[in-house]
Amino acid sequence: MSTDQGGLASVAAQAADPNLALVLKVLPALIVILLASWVCGRLAVMVMQPRVVGEMIAGVLLGPTLFGWLFPQAQAALFPAEVKPVLYVVSTIGLTLYMFLVGAGLHHGARVPGEGRRSAVLALSGLVPSLLLGFAVGLALWGALSRPDVGPVQFALFVGGALSLTAFPTLSRILYERGMQNAPLGRLCLIAASIDDALAWCLLAVLTALHLGTDLDGAARTIVMSAVFALVMLLLVARALRPLGRSFAQRGEFSGDAMYVIILVPLVAGWITDGIGVYSVFGGFVAGLVMPRDPAFRRALHDRMMGLVSTLLLPVFFAFSGLNTDLGGIAGGVALLGLAGIAAAAFGGKYLGCALAMRALGFGWRESYAVGALMNARGLMILIFVNIGLAQGMISQQLFSMLVLVAVVTTASALPLYKLSLPDRLERVQLATLEGGLRGAGGRAGLDPRESAAT
């Protein structure tokens, strides 16, 4: 058979099998997404940024902002209409599993006296100012950037909720890479970030229920069903999963049956919450919370799953977000003024709010500004938040693009501002404080902040 005949046979085979034709369209898109994420992630690491910053930028560059602007025909061929639903499904599965791992990784309880109280103060100092400033900006921008079917209060609450988030996973990665995850500052940041994110997800669940409800009765029904789901998971499913923890403690590893159960729990939970109307990531997050609390179990779960989720599935989500992000559409006086207002509210609410709270708790100014910088990182969490808002019709395409840009900028600024506030020599003081506390206090994980030398 000649080459031309072989090519014609291949085309005929694709035409006869539409599934094969779809696979041949999806695979090139996935390959380009992974390559772009890999290259941008490497570049981010080279300039001392978390890899996730590069992956976020890769998603934006693959969209209409750059790739679609320079090579519109190539982008349309690589991401045709029939490929986008596949990318959406893959990204939804990835987000559900990712939020499952985030929920499973949340810290439970405080290690030193007063840590819980200080973490709660830090969490509220970042959440409340961001929520109020975002709400005020949202009210000012309603009408100019909102959808016609969304009221001013709901729109303003969504903007405030998005700005109140802290990127718990990104924060964890930064602190782990610097060995600060168990230092006093690191512990406070991680616990506070988990509180902020949990409260923000609760707010989004309420906003989604109110938006999707055809009337107040429908919204109330969705909220009640969500609360019942959470209670069943936390009270009944958590107890049913305890044998998994005991089995892991005995074997030191997951059995094949255990992994089936572990994967099924977040997927079924996501399916249920999608049916309720509050998006599958909520189900995944709650599924993570009900996993056995043994630290070794959760650490092994993270090591087993995070590599695949973060390398294969999350880049698809970043790309799908990027396909909906057109930074070129942020033009004109109103749009630029709105972007400046959102960015100022985001920076002022988290960075300054957390820094002032830390100072009031007795920490030095350098430590306070370092914590403010870390808590100001929004990373993947705000992207999930705004993608849900866009999918549910709560925000416009233009506001979505603005919030994506804010997510990239605040996440990229976190580590440089942290290092500017707490350079290596002062960071070593924190680590020495941790080691001294462990030696001198029978395993105590930290000292009173007033004893810190980094002022």
* pLDDT tens digits, one per residue of 160-201: 999 998 877 777 777 766 767 667 778 788 888 878 877 887
Could you tell me if 90 and 308 are in contact, meaning their C-beta atoms sit under 8 angstroms apart? no
**pLDDT above 70: percentage of residues in the chain:** 84
Could you tell me if 365 and 359 are in contact, meaning their C-beta atoms sit under 8 angstroms apart? yes
- Across 66-72, average pLDDT: 89
What is the rounded distance in angstroms from the CA atom of residue 30 to the CA atom of residue 322?
A: 14
Is the pLDDT reported for residue 447 higher than 70? no
- Across 265-284, average pLDDT: 86
- pLDDT tens-digit profile of 37-51? 999 999 998 988 888
Residue 78: pLDDT band with limits 50, 70, 90: very high
Is the pLDDT reported for residue 445 higher than 80? no
Is the pLDDT reported for residue 270 higher than 70? yes
Distances (CA, A) of 69 to 25, 385, 418: 21, 26, 35
> Cβ–Cβ contacts within 10 Å for residue 391, how many?
14
> Cβ–Cβ contacts within 10 Å for residue 213, how many?
16
> Cβ–Cβ contacts within 10 Å for residue 215, how many?
8
The two tokens of residue 135 are 């709400």
Is the pLDDT reported for residue 17 higher than 80? no
Is the pLDDT reported for residue 134 higher than 80? yes
Residue 446: pLDDT band with limits 50, 70, 90: very low
Q: Is 84 left (phi over 0), alpha (psi -120 to 50) or beta?
A: alpha
Q: Is the dihedral of CA 197, 126, 322, 82 positive or negative?
A: positive
- Across 379-388, average pLDDT: 84
159 or 99: which carries more pLDDT confidence? Answer: 159
Distances (CA, A) of 75 to 19, 55, 124, 139, 232: 22, 18, 43, 36, 45
- pLDDT tens-digit profile of 202-257? 788 778 777 776 555 666 777 788 889 989 999 999 999 999 988 898 888 888 78
The mean pLDDT of the chain is 82
> Cβ–Cβ contacts within 10 Å for residue 282, how many?
27
Which distant-in-sequence residues (6+ apart) come within 8 Å of 273 by Cβ? 226, 229, 279, 280, 282, 283, 286
Is the pLDDT reported for residue 7 higher than 60? no
- pLDDT tens-digit profile of 302-318? 888 888 888 888 899 88
Distances (CA, A) of 445 to 187, 193, 278, 367: 9, 19, 38, 17
What is the rounded distance in angstroms from the CA atom of residue 260 to the CA atom of residue 224?
A: 30
Which fold is adopted by the domain 91-423?
Answer: Na+/H+ antiporter like fold (1.20.1530)
- Across 24-49, average pLDDT: 91
Q: What is the pLDDT of residue 444?
A: 37
Distances (CA, A) of 429 to 124, 141, 438, 454, 455: 27, 45, 14, 7, 11
Helix (H, G, I), strand (E, B) or coil at 240: helix
Which region among 108-117, 123-132, 270-279 has the lowest average model confidence (pLDDT)? 108-117
- Across 360-374, average pLDDT: 89
Domain ranges of the chain: 14-78, 91-423
Could you tell me if 411 and 377 are in contact, meaning their C-beta atoms sit under 8 angstroms apart? yes
